[in-house]
Structure 1
């Protein structure tokens, strides 16, 4: 009987031990679930906080420029990280208070952040490229690349031809030849007059004073020399030549020292996934197309800031007028190279120029100068044609990048009447390129670094002129890495780090 009771007692102790182990396991499991739940809730609070902070993106940047960025200055101009952290905490705390978990936020802060202007604007650049890729699609991107590649190639050829033409040198040679011819002609005239006087004196002695014979010098038929007219035209202001009558030019200016390109920029804090520069041709073409879509130019001027923003991307000057002059001069230079090459390849026009050059040389009694005069004539002819081309572009017309003989506007006979025919002689070509097409080609030659920094100048300046005088591009946050220390149930402390960025 005693043995049976002892056995029952042993079983009871064994069951008690088993139950205590089971209870311990259950309690541990429950606590583990509670901690896992707490950790999940903490992570959710951080995610919701970051989403909510970045949900306060700058609406003007998105509406006007399709850019996502958070104004890290909170309207104050300079980056304010403390306010960003306070904002993040204000969204985290309500989530931490949910459920029965006793979660308290001990500390929080930023371990990294990226600004729109970081890496010399690479962050800004890549967001734009990504936007353009998504907007155009693969087929649209390829079509744009093909079009721009062809135009760039032809423009480079035109630049080379214009450089080879070197108008100034050829005109200088013409001036030198004409001056020498004039001096020789004057010397010959003086010698002839002196000889005539000697002959007259001899005749007076032979026939007497009453029978004086006079010999009239041979008169050269006057030859119309258009080079003298075009030389005067070349000295005129470029805008005076190429802008149609009645057009007003913007006189707006900017202070570059207050913009992105002129001041010391705020820098972000390095994040684990750094930004790798994209220097591909595709990205540059897409970036440039974005600029054409979002910035003003002479044909479609901006209402705020500089009126001619694409011209600023090309020239980078403080005044609208100076930027426009730079573009007009470059267009004239390119067109002159193309037109000179067209003349050199046109046998009919070259024959006309040779004939006129020979007549001018004969008129000045310097037949050997005919070759120099012919080159000067061709250059003046190409210049006059280029003036009409660029004037047509500024009037809203189109001009082919590479012109054929059929597209020619001014004849050699009318060269001297260029100023009278600036508007009557020029003509539009529907299959040609517009002013905006040409300026896009010009901007292709500008380095990526200059285009990016100047584009940020224009966006910053425009937004400031819309009423936000303290707006700074280098206060715009595009990525954050934040940490938080949260205590759960007054015992265990969790340390979490999360990232968020606009993509």
Structure 2
């Protein structure tokens, strides 16, 4: 049975308006949901880009960074922008799918523009950003107490150095006193002070002869010995005769520390404090090769020595570090000598012997001080020999830790004697960490990037790698476009064809992650 149905024009118009309202609300809901999806997509694809870090740099040196260069090795963000658009296409499809019947997702959009700005490069601020990258890693891998201990050692060395400046002058003054004793005639050679000094010297000689059971023999002048030794090559003094020193070198003209670098556009970081400095220097000791812990696969075997010396070859850099170690140990050994009454007496006895029977106290005191300086140097040479052989030396030596004899300085320096290995002392790397604290952090950071860049360039696919093309922090502005889906059923907007455009902002930093941006 058929029944006729009818609808008024008003009702038809009402249904059409209701339908259009529903479709408009659906499109609004889709638009609102798509905004959230696009915001999450911006964060996700940016983090995906930062997950594509330079593997050799991380695996070898624990530095995170994204390469932003083109095939010619020039700074360029095009590849990374294309990577963002490609990832978005995988996540959200393409606006070319326009109909529901095609089975497309309702949450479809296309990233039409992506801009990294501002951004920060690893070499920015003359090495400050690189130090920040190192500290971010090291804070999670070194205890605060250990860092404080290293800094305390540095402070101790600095304090001792204040009291023993220009040790070479002490030897020179002693030599001058022996050659020109008349300059020191403020006190008579025959007065009571002179007789007292000679008596102390004779008593010291007597005690020494009784202890050794030997007759007194003419003593070589340690002042002359040390003066002559210091004219020789420092490596021949601290290394065995047949030691093979690395012959590797680096071309420094195009290194990070010598060439003109690309600059990032982010605001500058503030300088580093003592804690960050210690973290950075301990990182250098832990991850760079050095004479004691060589890295055969590196461009330079003595990377740490390069950071300290800045010369193009391993041998020259090792010379610089050895010289600095000797200069560090001398005042520390002088502190040990002045704290020992026994060794003070031995130095005084030798000073009287060298100065002669007619010497006055002023000459003897000058010679005694020169002998102490020469003795400290000789002990320092033995210390460095021990350090280079992998041993440990305590900061301020006790009588039990002391090795050399003032009467055997020529034999000790010409032979191959080494200082006593101190189980509670510091090794070569720990002394190097203290040395680093006496240098400018920015200079050391730039040189560190020299050796790290050189190493990465030896890896396949990274021949054009440059540290100033490494991104470590940025803010991203992403523009999306998408077409309406439900508005096609709304006759009022039948000519709507421009689509929608949304712009999102995000940021990422290896130092702070997403939360810190």
Is TM (by shorter chain) over 0.5? yes
Cα deviations across residues 297-356 of structure 1 (Å, max 9, x unaligned)? 111122212211112222222222222111111111121111122222222212122222
2:130 aligns with one of 121, 124, 137: 124
Q: CA deviation at 1:78?
A: 1.8
* Distance in 1, Cα, partners of 2:374 & 2:235: 18
1:134 partner SS: coil
Q: CA deviation at 1:129?
A: 1.5
2:250 partner SS: coil
Matched, 1:287 2:287: no
Q: CA deviation at 1:51?
A: 3.5
Q: CA deviation at 1:55?
A: 3.0
* Distance in 2, Cα, partners of 1:111 & 1:70: 15
1:66 aligns with one of 53, 56, 62: 62
Q: CA deviation at 1:41?
A: 4.5
> Which consecutive unaligned segments of at least 5 residues does structure 1 have?
1-11, 184-220
* Distance in 2, Cα, partners of 1:427 & 1:102: 74
**CA contact 2:175–2:223 (8 Å) conserved in 1:** no
2:147 partner SS: helix
1:422 partner SS: coil
Alignment coverage as a number of residue pairs: 446
1:484 partner SS: strand
Q: CA deviation at 1:83?
A: 2.0
**CA contact 1:161–1:341 (8 Å) conserved in 2:** no
Where do residues 53-452 of structure 1 align in structure 2 (5 Å cutoff)? 53-73=49-69, 76-94=72-90, 95-97=92-94, 98-100=104-106, 103-136=109-142, 140=143, 142-163=144-165, 166-180=166-180, 224-270=220-266, 274=267, 276-303=269-296, 304-362=298-356, 365-367=358-360, 369-423=363-417, 426-452=419-445
Tell me the TM-score normalized by structure 1. Answer: 0.80
1:405 partner SS: coil
* Distance in 1, Cα, partners of 2:332 & 2:245: 27
Structure 1 pair 237–14 and aligned structure 2 pair: CA distance change class (3 A): same
* Distance in 2, Cα, partners of 1:346 & 1:43: 72
* Distance in 1, Cα, partners of 2:171 & 2:468: 50
Structure 1 pair 471–180 and aligned structure 2 pair: CA distance change class (3 A): same
Q: CA deviation at 1:32?
A: 0.6
Structure 2 equivalent of residue 458 of structure 1: 451
Structure 1 pair 359–292 and aligned structure 2 pair: CA distance change class (3 A): closer
* Distance in 2, Cα, partners of 1:429 & 1:286: 25
User: Greater share of helix residues, 1 or 2?
Assistant: 1
Structure 2 equivalent of residue 495 of structure 1: 502
> Which consecutive unaligned segments of at least 5 residues does structure 2 have?
1-7, 95-103, 184-216, 485-496
Cα deviations across residues 44-93 of structure 1 (Å, max 9, x unaligned)? 55444324333322111221122222111256422222222222222222
Structure 2 equivalent of residue 479 of structure 1: 473
Cα deviations across residues 163-199 of structure 1 (Å, max 9, x unaligned)? 1xx332222223323333699xxxxxxxxxxxxxxxx
**CA contact 1:167–1:379 (8 Å) conserved in 2:** yes
* Distance in 1, Cα, partners of 2:115 & 2:180: 82
More displaced stretch, 476-485 vs 345-354: 476-485
Cα deviations across residues 213-236 of structure 1 (Å, max 9, x unaligned)? xxxxxxxx9654333223222222
Cα deviations across residues 403-425 of structure 1 (Å, max 9, x unaligned)? 122211111221232234432x5
Q: CA deviation at 1:460?
A: 0.7
Structure 1 equivalent of residue 204 of structure 2: none
* Distance in 2, Cα, partners of 1:464 & 1:158: 43
* Distance in 1, Cα, partners of 2:455 & 2:56: 11
Cα deviations across residues 136-186 of structure 1 (Å, max 9, x unaligned)? 4xxx2x2213311321122112322331xx332222223323333699xxx
**CA contact 1:45–1:93 (8 Å) conserved in 2:** no
* Distance in 2, Cα, partners of 1:384 & 1:400: 16
2:164 partner SS: helix
* Distance in 2, Cα, partners of 1:127 & 1:222: 61
Superposed CA RMSD in Å reads 2.9
**CA contact 1:74–1:83 (8 Å) conserved in 2:** yes
Structure 1 equivalent of residue 46 of structure 2: 50
Structure 1 pair 305–75 and aligned structure 2 pair: CA distance change class (3 A): farther
Q: CA deviation at 1:99?
A: 0.9
Larger radius of gyration: 1
* Distance in 1, Cα, partners of 2:365 & 2:107: 97
Cα deviations across residues 190-214 of structure 1 (Å, max 9, x unaligned)? xxxxxxxxxxxxxxxxxxxxxxxxx
2:407 partner SS: coil
Q: CA deviation at 1:400?
A: 0.6
Structure 1 pair 103–429 and aligned structure 2 pair: CA distance change class (3 A): closer
* Distance in 1, Cα, partners of 2:111 & 2:335: 75
More displaced stretch, 43-52 vs 171-180: 43-52
More displaced stretch, 277-286 vs 99-108: 99-108
* Distance in 1, Cα, partners of 2:395 & 2:455: 32
* Distance in 2, Cα, partners of 1:470 & 1:293: 27
Structure 1 pair 398–91 and aligned structure 2 pair: CA distance change class (3 A): same
Cα deviations across residues 417-436 of structure 1 (Å, max 9, x unaligned)? 2234432x532111111111
Structure 2 equivalent of residue 32 of structure 1: 28
* Distance in 2, Cα, partners of 1:154 & 1:104: 62
2:312 partner SS: coil
